[in-house]
Amino acid sequence: MNLFQSVIIAIIEGLTEFLPISSTAHMKFANPFLGISPNPFVDLFEIVIQLAAIASVVVVYNKKFFDFKHFSFYIKLMVAVIPALLFGALLKKHIDAALGNLWVIAIVMVAGGVVLLFIDKLFDKNKTHIQNELDEMSYKKSFIVGCFQVLSIIFPGLSRSAATIIGGMSQKLSKKTAAEFSFFLAVPTMLAASAKSTLDVLKESPEVLTSNNISTLVIGGIIAFLVALLTVKFFINFIQKRGFALFGWYRIALGLIILTLLYTNHL
């Protein structure tokens, strides 16, 4: 992976991590177009830039993350992350196999897009008058949102963001609160997943940590972080005004393009 390739992938990650369009799918689709072949360093790079993008949430919502007066907030996140940790460990072989199958990812992209077309109408009544809706969110609702997150583990390309936002809206949370809780939940989820994946990569291929590769990781991480900072604020404003349909159409179009390229052996 050269510098140009790493910059493009980092930008893609920063743009897509918090949108309901699957950052993983976009990176897997982009790699062959950029001439990037699967190898341990590419795996490590994708882990690092995902974690860097997630870190932007802590900056944007720093008052919420470091408000230790509301300790229940942290407990809710821990409750919500439990299902992903359990199923992530149990389904690791399935996850690894599915992540390597572009057919599966593209089909899930299309299916997820169809779902997003109907989300706004389905949960149109989820309008809250509670000033601090997240503080009023129960542990039960947190756990249910966490169960929805498992769907993104079982079906790569679904989008962790899409799954958890839909999960939140199914529990009568407003779009804004569902999206914000999805952002918050990403932090412990990705910390745990990244730590495990990083250890696995380094255990199997410790030679990836060359000075050149470390520089690439740092540059990629910074770019993903900065782009994600802008995306988080944009997304909240966008869904409140326009909803999810545009993301649904985008997913369907991209998924069909990838399926066509795969069918015609151009990918």
Asked whether the predicted pLDDT for residue 128 surpasses 80, the reply is no
pLDDT tens-digit profile of 182-206?
999 999 999 998 888 889 888 999 8
Q: Is 124's pLDDT higher than 90?
A: no
129 pLDDT more than 60 = no
Q: What is the model's pLDDT at position 255?
A: 97
**Tokens in use for 250?**
């985008």
Q: Helices 92-99 and 72-90 meet at what angle, rounded to 10?
A: 80
- Which residues fall within 8 angstroms of residue 73, CB to CB, at 6 or more apart? 64, 67, 134, 135, 184
CB 36 within 8 A of CB 9: yes
How high is the mean pLDDT of the chain?
92
Round to whole Å and give the CA distance between 178 and 127.
Answer: 11
Alpha-carbon distance of 47 to 7, in angstroms, equals 15
- pLDDT of 263 reads 96
Quote the pLDDT of residue 232: 93
In this prediction, residue 135 carries a pLDDT of 78
Q: What is the pLDDT of residues 63-104, one digit of tens each?
A: 988 888 888 999 999 999 999 999 988 887 788 788 889 999
Tokens, residue 95: 């996850």
HSE-CB of 65 using CA atoms within 13 angstroms: 16
Q: How many CB atoms sit inside 10 A of residue 252's CB? A: 18
**Token digits for 188?**
């412990």
- Vertex 116 angle, CA 181 and 88, to 5°: 55
In this predicted structure, the answer to whether residue 131 has a pLDDT above a threshold of 60 is no
The whole-angstrom separation of Cα 164 and Cα 159 is: 9
Domain ranges for the chain, please list them. Answer: 3-263
How far apart CA 215 and CA 112 sit, in angstroms, is 36
pTM over 0.85: yes
- Nearest CA-CA partner of 152 in 173, 137, 171, 167: 167
pLDDT tens for each residue of 16-69: 999 999 999 999 999 999 999 989 999 999 999 999 999 999 999 999 888 888
Nearest to 184 by CA among 47, 70, 58, 21: 58
Please give the full DSSP string across the chain, using - where no structure is assigned.
Answer: --HHHHHHHHHHHHHHSSSTT-HHHHHHHHHHHTTPPP-HHHHHHHHHHHHHHHHHHHHHTHHHHT-TT-THHHHHHHHHHHHHHHHHHHTHHHHHHHHT-HHHHHHHHHHHHHHHHHHHHHTTT-----TTHHHH--HHHHHHHHHHHHHHHHSTTS-HHHHHHHHHHHTT--HHHHHHHHHHHHHHHHHHHHHHHHHHHHHH-GGG--HHHHHHHHHHHHHHHHHHHHHHHHHHHHHHHH-SHHHHHHHHHHHHHHHHHHHTT--
Q: Nearest CA to 90 among 153, 43, 31?
A: 153
**The pLDDT of residue 132:** 67
